Chains A and B, each alone.
Chain A
Amino acid sequence: SAVISQKPSRDICQRGTSLTIQCQVDSQVTMMFWYRQQPGQSLTLIATANQGSEATYESGFVIDKFPISRPNLTFSTLTVSNMSPEDSSIYLCSVQPARPQDTEAFFGQGTRLTVV
Chain B
Amino acid sequence: GDSVTQMEGPVTLSEEACLTINCTYTATGYPSLFWYVQYPGEGLQLLLKATKADDKGSNKGFEATYRKETTSFHLEKGSVQVSDSAVYFCALYNFNKFYFGSGTKLNVKP
Contact = CB atoms under 8 A, between A and B. Distances in A.
Interface of A: 4, 6, 31, 33, 41-43, 45, 92, 94, 103-110, 112
Contacts of B36: 107
Interface in B31-74: 32, 34, 36, 41-46, 49, 51
A88 to B, nearest CB: 16
Contact of A107 (B41, B43, B97): B43
Contact of A104 (B43, B46, B96, B102): B46
Nearest to A90: B43
Interface residues of B, number: 20
The SS class assigned to the A binding surface is: strand
Contacts of A33: 98
A106 B97 CA distance: 13
B89 A103 contact: no
Contacts, number: 45
B102 A45 contact: no
Contact of A92 (B41, B43, B49): B43
Contacts of B44: 43, 92, 94, 107
Interface of B: 32, 34, 36, 41-46, 49, 51, 89, 93, 96-98, 100-103
A38 B100 CA distance: 13
Nearest to B51: A103
Contacts of B43: 4, 6, 92, 107-110
B65 to A, nearest CB: 18
B46 A42 contact: no
